[in-house]
Amino acid sequence: MSAAQSQSTLEDKLKALQCHFTWDIDTSRSKLFRIKDKLEDIGTDDGNSWLGHIYNLQGYIQYQLGFTEEARHFISEAAEAFRQSRNTVSNEGPWLVVNYGNLAWLHHQLGEEAESQTYLSKVDNLLKEYPSPSQDELHPDIYAEKAWTLMKFGKDKKLLAAGYFQRAIRMQPDMVEWNTSYMIALVNAVKCFEDTPLEEDIMEKIKMAKEQDPENLYLAIFELEQRAMKGERIEDEVRELARKVLENPVSSYSGMKAFLWVYKKYVSVDEAIDLAEEALEKHPDEHFLKRCAALCYKWRILSHEPLKQSKIQRAVHLHKEVIALYPDGSLLNKLNLALIYAKSYHGLAEAEQIYQEQLEKDLEPVEKQMLYHYYAKHLMCDRRDYHRAIEYHMKAAEMPEETNFKENSITFLQSIVDGNRRPRCREIEEFLSKLEV
């Protein structure tokens, strides 16, 4: 076989692997940096059943961002994490198929073809030794890791992730963490598209998952929220659950962020702030808790109820801290800081400065679209600059990226046409017609 044929065969084998390098993953730098931050917030405490998956994804992200040595470190750590979490007599099992696939790709990308071929052989051996229980389907461990990974990449991937979890569970129903994550993916996917109570069959699945995993706070939060949406009073139960949340290890997997949302929505945003501050007082150096507290203050300011200047200053301080702690993915945090400045006394100049600084940057299209949308709302609501607000909503709307920002800007422009609010009604109508809206 010639060298060219050998290389072609190797690449064909690599493309056929099931691993992060072959899955449909958004590789935009802004998205990767945000997920990198989220993975770091999860933490790496012993006993985390997803630790191998975390390291695998971190390694892939590090490679895509250009940090090859970090990528090598994380993907190698993933193999050891899987061995420890599985706690089996054998050092190898089907849970290493994705990891070995990542290593085969990484070595190939780094020009280390002999090592790449070694891991391709390891994958082949594992698939032969541990065939899928269901013919014509992937092994359940592969489905589970693919599902867990896709959950991190936006609402449009969550329903797909839920489907992969369902396939894994059908073949291996005794994995508690798969059942729990299946429900989290499914509920989040449905909630992304609807703000109505869940169907009864989904509620039954939540109850069954809770019986398997009674300490999981996400499942408890989902159930409370659904009961509240149907008119039940849940305040006392939420306050009681708050004590459990505070006792959990500090991690984005603690349920804190989801819990604060429910607390804010059905009890009190001020009490949510108090809870976040109490958690932060116990763990003053935890980055994730600072993000949670900053988010609570943002909710409070958006409620448009009077707020003491000292509270606004605390919100500003927390957002500045978060921006410093997450410098690579800080655009949204900066826009939130601008929003807070705009709602504070004499803060319009600071808000405008932040927006102008971001408008001058070379941002990725999705980031630019988000910036245009936020700035349009700022111009409309805070500066009462109707004409410039329309211009920036148009800028967001005409970009090809299909996001909530585009959709919301189009909705705003359409409301002007529907209400026949002049001036510029005809111009906006023609603009939307060109977008085929």
Same domain flag for 173 and 101: no
Question: Contact 96/79 with Cβ under 8 angstroms?
Answer: yes
Contact status, residue 106 vs residue 76, Cβ threshold 8 Å: no
Mean pLDDT of 102-125: 96
Angle of CA points 380, 301, 283, to nearest 5° = 140
Contact 275, 247 (CB under 8 A): no
Residues 8-29: tens digit of each pLDDT: 688 899 999 999 999 988 888 9
Lowest model confidence (mean pLDDT) among 36-45, 53-62, 323-332, 384-393: 36-45
The CATH number given to whatever domain includes residue 144 is 1.25.40
Residue with tokens 């420890």: 84
Are 111 and 149 within one domain? no
Nearest-angstrom CA–CA distance, 325 and 254: 20
Q: Do 23 and 121 have their domain in common?
A: yes
pLDDT at 353: 96
Average pLDDT over residues 301-308: 85
Q: Are residues 51 and 122 in the same domain?
A: yes
Measured distance between the N- and C-terminal CA atoms of the chain, rounded to whole angstroms: 55
- State residue 45's pLDDT score: 64
Mean pLDDT for the chain? Answer: 90
109 and 149, same domain (yes or no): no
Burial degree of 52 (CB within 10 A; 0-12, 13-18, 19+) = buried
Q: Does any domain span residue 98?
A: yes
Q: Judge whether 173 lies within some domain.
A: yes
| Residue 191's pLDDT band (cuts 50, 70, 90) | confident
pLDDT at 247: 85
Residues 161 and 206 both lie in one domain: yes
pLDDT in tens, 233-284: 999 999 999 888 888 877 878 788 989 999 999 999 999 999 999 999 999 9
Q: Please tell me the predicted confidence (pLDDT) of residue 287.
A: 92
Is residue 3's pLDDT more than 80? no
d(CA 36, CA 59): 10
Question: What does each C-alpha distance from 14 to 26, 59, 142 come to in angstroms?
Answer: 19, 17, 16
What's residue 91's pLDDT?
76
Sign of CA dihedral 94, 97, 98, 103: positive
Residues 6+ apart with CB under 8 A from 154: 26, 31
**Cα–Cα distance between 363 and 3 in angstroms, integer?**
41
Asked if residue 64 is part of any domain, the answer here is: yes
Please give the C-alpha separations between residue 336 and each of 294, 306, 339, 355, in angstroms, as whole numbers. Answer: 9, 18, 5, 11
In the chain, how many domains are there? 3
Q: What was the pLDDT predicted at 195?
A: 65
Residue 410 lies in a domain: yes
Q: Is the pLDDT of residue 181 over 90?
A: yes
Structural domain for 206, as ranges: 140-214
Collapsing DSSP to helix, strand or coil, 232 comes out as coil
Which is nearest to 59 in space by CA: 149, 189, 153?
Answer: 149
Q: Let me know how long the chain is.
A: 437
Same domain assignment for residues 117 and 161: no
List, in sequence order, the alpha helices (H) in 194-330: 200-212, 217-229, 235-247, 256-266, 269-282, 287-302, 309-325
Domain membership flag for residue 39: yes
SS3 89: coil
Q: What is the pLDDT of residue 192?
A: 57
Question: To which residue do tokens 């969550």 refer?
Answer: 158
Q: What is the pLDDT of residue 248?
A: 80
For tokens 């082949």, what's the residue? Answer: 124
Considering the domain architecture, whether residues 78 and 151 belong to the same structural domain is answered as: no
State whether residue 20 is helix, strand or coil. Answer: coil
- Whole-number pLDDT of residue 199: 83
Amino acid of residue 49: S
Say whether both 27 and 118 belong to one domain. Answer: yes
Give the span between the Cα atoms of 206 and 242, in whole angstroms. Answer: 20
Cis peptide before 306 (omega within 30 of 0): no
Q: What is the spatial distance between Cα 272 and Cα 26, in angstroms, rounded to a whole number?
A: 33
Q: Are residues 111 and 203 in the same domain?
A: no
CB 248, CB 255: distance < 8 Å? yes
Looking at residues 419-434, what average pLDDT do you find? 86
pLDDT one-digit tens code per residue, 337-359: 999 999 887 789 999 999 999 99
Q: Would residue 248 count as lying in a domain? A: no
Among residues 120, 72, 129, which one has the least CA distance to residue 100?
A: 120
In a domain? residue 272: no
